[in-house]
Amino acid sequence: MSNPLTLYTDAHFISPYAMSAFVALEEKGVSFELSPVDLDRGAQREAGYVSLSLTGKVPMLVHGSFALTESSAITEYVDETFPGSALYPSTALQRARARQIQAWLRSDLMPIRQERSSENLFRRPPPLAPLSEAAQQATGKLLAAADRLLPEGADALFGAWSIADFELAFMLNRLVLCGDPVPRRLAEYADRQWHRPSVQRWVMLPR
């Protein structure tokens, strides 16, 4: 537990996966060092980084002699290793649902990720073309699922905040912060998550 922690992220601080790991550590209140990796230069493919990370990807969390990549694995490890605010819900059923949401957002909705880059959330976006038909279909799927997942009048998916709230809100904010129409209650939910202190600490990093 006393071993030093280092979180390796993209150097431009725009990766939603690196941001998820950063938010998890901030929510836990643990001390860690931030180490940006220059992906444009290919630093993630250098032998020293690959030998440590196994996959040559960011984010990577190094805890003493233990190194871990894949953001959902990192958030689970942080939650299970450190005291402090829980990152996942308290019941097995809700934890399973939170992990489902994480996995779904990483593996689906590609047209939204392609047409509404995460870079747009941190820098003023240029004029954007309307969403393609494929992206509109993906948006409909996202909004329907979010409406079903978020209880009416609730501030969080599972009563108390969880890392799944950050991740669902990030995907919604790809639309909200680019001016695409999102139902009011989902837009307000996404805005509340965006202004959470742990999230804003990432937003305010120099780029």
Q: Which DSSP letter does residue 158 get?
A: B
DSSP string, 161-188: --HHHHHHHHHHHHHHTTT----HHHHH
* pLDDT tens digit sequence for 82-113: 999 999 999 999 999 999 999 999 999 999 99
The pTM for the full model equals: 0.95
Query: Model confidence over 149-166: pLDDT tens digits?
Result: 999 999 999 999 999 999
What angle do the packed helices 163-176 and 133-149 form, to 10 degrees? 140
